[in-house]
């Protein structure tokens, strides 16, 4: 799919960077956020559109284009009146499942160019972990750990080198995720049911969360059928994580052990990234619903970071902020190249 003609390269600066309009997108499975800002970072508006799926999934390309166009359209009508007719000059998109240097990234770039009417020189399409890193640590070294239905860690050193760890899909590599927390609890509940582990409150809570009667002898068979239903998937397991969190916060030891084990998996990801990039006492940002909403998990994670010498830091900005940072960098580089060519 060919990119349209470049509407900005026809105009030679000098317009200040703050006079240009840039967009940052955070494309998730449930919704896509678009944030519009000036080239020098002043936020103008934000809106949401539909979510995306992996580009290789049925309808993936069409949903990707629709998500970008609809979220952009929603943000466009919210900008101050003076910006309503200013064309979009650059954009960056962060979406899960897009690996740097992969054919999927190349396809995403082509689709985004068509959806947004931008040339490739002023467009970036990458994984959401990279926009999250750019938002949390716009400059210098740092590591982000994202814990949601899945997990991934990404770090950058002072020279701009990156290293990722985990995030290889829930069937292969979900340690530390809310999916694994829920699955571990459900597996333990079945061991309790058949006598391999002492019975306790965890089995009752987990089965009730699934709408099952803990007294029903047929419940284990129903669980076996439930988890292989395509509609259950990783999200079905992840929905059980809040119950594990509630039990652990109330003193249930089996639930606490599950959270401790998954927190250690997250700490191991940080250790691997720090070692690969030779980062000493790196700053770490904890992102994603698991580390934000599951307090015992976050506490165990923070304790583990302390043993590594890593420092848990508040992120400077979110993934949309990071996408805007990338978009502004692309715009700045392109405008500098145009100015040099005009001299």
Q: What residues have CB less than 8 Å from 278, skipping those under 6 apart?
A: 157
pLDDT tens digits, 261-301: 999 999 999 999 999 999 999 999 999 999 999 999 999 99
CATH of span 17-138+317-342: 3.30.420.40
Average pLDDT along the chain: 92
pLDDT of residue 14: 62
Please write the tens of the pLDDT for every residue from 210-250.
999 999 999 999 999 999 999 999 989 999 999 999 999 99
Supply the pTM of this predicted model: 0.85
pLDDT for the residue numbered 334: 76
Same fold flag, 17-138+317-342 and 178-312: yes
Domain boundaries, the chain: 17-138+317-342, 178-312
Looking up tokens 């306790």 gives 200
> What CA–CA distance (Å, rounded) separates 46 from 41?
13
Q: What is the predicted pLDDT for the residue at 57? A: 87
Task: Please give the Cα distance from 262 to 324 (Å, whole number).
Answer: 32
Confidence (pLDDT) at 342: 64
The whole-number pLDDT of residue 338 equals 66
Residue 303 to residue 280: CA distance in whole angstroms: 17
Q: Are the beta carbons of 279 and 305 closer than 8 angstroms?
A: no
Angstrom distance (rounded) from CA 159 to CA 112: 29
pLDDT tens-digit profile, the chain (343 residues): 444 444 444 444 567 888 899 999 999 878 899 999 999 999 999 999 999 988 988 999 999 999 999 999 999 999 999 999 999 999 999 998 888 889 999 999 999 999 999 999 899 999 999 999 999 999 899 999 999 988 999 999 999 999 999 988 888 999 999 999 999 999 999 999 999 999 999 999 999 999 999 999 999 999 999 999 999 999 899 999 999 999 999 999 999 999 999 999 999 999 999 999 999 999 999 999 999 999 999 999 999 999 999 999 999 999 999 999 999 999 988 777 766 666 6
For position 303, what pLDDT does the model report?
A: 96
Assign domain 178-312 to its CATH superfamily: ATPase, nucleotide binding domain (3.30.420.40)
């Amino acid at each position: 799919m060919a990119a349209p003609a470049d509407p900005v390269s026809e105009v030679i600066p000098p317009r200040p960077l703050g006079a240009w309009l840039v967009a940052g997108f955070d494309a998730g499975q449930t919704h896509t956020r678009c944030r519009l800002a000036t080239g020098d970072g002043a936020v103008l508006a934000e809106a949401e559109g539909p979510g995306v799926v992996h580009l290789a999934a049925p309808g993936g390309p069409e949903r990707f284009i629709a998500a970008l166009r609809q979220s952009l359209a929603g943000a466009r009508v919210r900008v101050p009146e003076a910006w309503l007719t200013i064309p979009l000059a650059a954009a960056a998109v962060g979406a899960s499942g897009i690996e740097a240097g992969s054919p999927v990234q190349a396809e995403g770039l082509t689709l985004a160019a068509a959806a947004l009417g931008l040339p490739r020189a002023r467009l970036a399409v990458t994984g959401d972990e990279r926009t999250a890193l750019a938002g949390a640590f716009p400059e210098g070294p740092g590591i982000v750990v994202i814990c949601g239905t899945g997990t991934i860690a990404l770090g950058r050193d002072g020279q701009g080198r990156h290293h990722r760890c985990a995030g290889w899909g829930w069937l292969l590599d979900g340690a530390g995720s809310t999916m694994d927390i829920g699955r571990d609890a459900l597996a333990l509940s079945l061991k309790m049911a058949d006598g391999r582990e002492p019975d306790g409150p965890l089995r009752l809570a987990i089965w009730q969360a699934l709408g099952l009667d803990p007294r029903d002898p047929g419940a284990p068979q129903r669980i076996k059928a439930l988890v292989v239903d395509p509609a259950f998937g990783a999200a079905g397991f992840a929905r059980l994580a809040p119950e594990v969190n509630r039990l652990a916060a109330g003193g249930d030891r089996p639930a606490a052990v599950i959270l401790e084990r998954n927190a250690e998996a997250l700490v191991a990801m940080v250790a691997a990234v720090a070692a690969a990039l030779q980062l000493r006492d790196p700053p770490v940002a904890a992102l994603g619903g698991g580390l934000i909403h599951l307090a015992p998990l976050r506490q165990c994670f923070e304790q583990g970071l302390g043993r590594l010498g890593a420092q848990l830091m508040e992120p400077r900005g979110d993934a949309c902020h990071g996408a805007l940072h990338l978009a502004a960098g692309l715009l700045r580089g392109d405008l500098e190249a145009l100015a040099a060519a005009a001299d």
